[in-house]
Amino acid sequence: MLVLGMLKRVVSGTTQSKAFGCWKLALPLRFLGSAPCRIPAEDSFHSTSFSEAEPPRVFITGGLGQLGAGLAGLLRRRFGKDNVILSDIKKPPAHVLHSGPFIYADILDYKKLREIVVNHRITWLFHYSALLSAVGEANVALARDVNITGLHNILDVAAEFNVRLFVPSTIGAFGATSPRNPAPDLCIQRPRTIYGVSKVHAELMGEYYHSRYGLDFRCLRYPGIISADSQPGGGTTDYAVQIFHDAAKKGTFECNLKASTRLPMMYISDCLRATLEVMEAPAERLSMRTYNISAMSFTPEELAQAILKHIPDFQITYCVDPLRQAIAESWPMKLDDSNARMDWGWKHDFDLPQLVATMLTFHGASTRFAQAN
């Protein structure tokens, strides 16, 4: 009878803690005790951490990469300069420093990340810090730290403070056994690079945190991104950026991929707009947490032919890099982005002719197209 009485008291205490308390194991152990009592995941499925009547307070990691400064500019025009904080571990150029708030932030410093989110009242977080495909293969240990350990820090901070989180993924998240033409949103993913593996990991961890902790996680699989005002960052698709620099300056380009290598691509303004649109989309319109987006698909030979229409004496040669070629051949030739177009209205603006004209105009190349118009 004594044992039975003790059991009754234990059961009674457990029931009371369910009714009036909260489960301490609802969050990762590293921030137990510092987080407020959380609503169970199924009740906070569509929760946000800010009033829709107020602009979000935005924090961007890896802000000096190909996309960070451009995204900051877009968000500052929409939400106000002081509401968007750019960060990196490198010294910013003067034009970036003077364009809006910039701070030093190392994503491997978990305590510092928490301080930033608290002190600046962050409600949206864009996590761009990563080592890209070819660079990651040259330094796997560093890529593992930045792309995986850094991601874990970001996920935990975002979940603790109920921050809406965007993490970009990539065509590198697919592998040789994935469908290539086109690759759907849901299919086999078996990448063979640390970059690709880390991006699959990010997709799955984000979806897990969404279902387990109610984190508002959103992710887009980017194709190769082409931008005029940035230097190539070590990615396999970066030939499609370098070719415009060389065409405008030298009239020649040596490509490290085979002429027939087809990959999906997108101009940066479409990419940044898609990122903002998916972050602003009502949660009830999102049928998934990770979407493909696409705009065009071409080969180096097709890109060169499009440039020749503007620079008649342009010449391209090929010196294939086996590492990059192997990576490219494991990636999709085209992405199926029908779910993004259906769910939240994604639509690209730039096709190949518009891309080429825009890039060459930016680089000051004298073209027959410009003269004719």
Classified as helix, coil or strand, 367 is: coil
Q: How far apart are CA 35 and CA 27, in angstroms?
A: 8
Task: Please give the single-letter amino acid code of residue 278.
Answer: V
Are 370 and 255 in contact by the 8 Å Cβ rule? The answer is no
Please tell me which residue in 195, 209, 213, 222 is annotated as part of the active site. 195
Q: How far apart are CA 146 and CA 173, in angstroms?
A: 16
CA 221, distance to chain mean position in Å, is: 7
Q: How far apart are CA 362 and CA 343, in angstroms?
A: 34
Between the CA of residue 172 and those of 72, 93, 236, 291, what are the distances in Å? 25, 29, 9, 14
Closest CA to 150 of 132, 133, 131, 169: 131
Helices (H), 217-292: 239-249, 268-280
The reply to whether 195 belongs to the active site is: yes
- Count other Cβ atoms within 10 Å, centred on residue 313: 7
Please, how many CA atoms are within 13 Å of residue 256, restricted to the half-sphere of its CB? 18
Residue partners of 274: CB distance under 8 A and separation at least 6: 220, 293, 340, 346
Classified as helix, coil or strand, 14 is: helix
End-to-end CA distance of the chain: 96
Q: In angstroms, what is the C-alpha Rg of the chain?
A: 23
Q: How far apart are CA 321 and CA 257, in angstroms?
A: 6
Classified as helix, coil or strand, 228 is: coil
Report the alpha-carbon angle 359-364-365, nearest 5. Answer: 80
Between the CA of residue 86 and those of 100, 152, 170, 230, 239, what are the distances in Å? 8, 20, 22, 16, 27
Instruction: Supply the residues annotated as catalytic.
Output: 195
